């Protein structure tokens, strides 16, 4: 879940790592289910953490 203010940055990140949004839920906060290449998972997670100043990280679907 993330704040609306981060959506543009997250969408740009997905473009950089060839990711796609599989499902989105827009309420008080935004919840995104995304797909990214496994080889870019760590890079995407690091960038997401930087963009959100440590507030967001990726979690796998199995978690």
Question: What domain count does the chain have?
Answer: 1
Asked whether 36 and 47 are in contact (CB, 8 A), the reply is: no
Structural domain contains residue 56 = no
In a domain, 44, yes or no: yes
Axis crossing angle, helix 41-51 with helix 7-16, rounded to the nearest 10: 160
Q: Give me the pLDDT at residue 61, please.
A: 75
R_g of the chain, CA atoms, integer Å: 11
Range of the domain at 11: 5-50
pLDDT tens digits, one per residue of 16-54:
999 999 999 998 888 889 999 999 999 999 999 999 999
29 falls within a domain? yes
More confident position, 60 or 17: 17
């Amino acid at each position: 879940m993330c704040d609306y203010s981060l959506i543009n940055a997250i969408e740009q990140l997905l473009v950089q790592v060839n990711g796609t949004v599989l499902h989105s839920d827009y309420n008080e906060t935004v919840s995104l289910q995304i797909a990214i290449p496994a080889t870019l998972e760590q890079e995407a997670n690091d960038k997401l953490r930087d963009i959100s100043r440590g507030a967001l990280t990726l979690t796998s679907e199995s978690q």
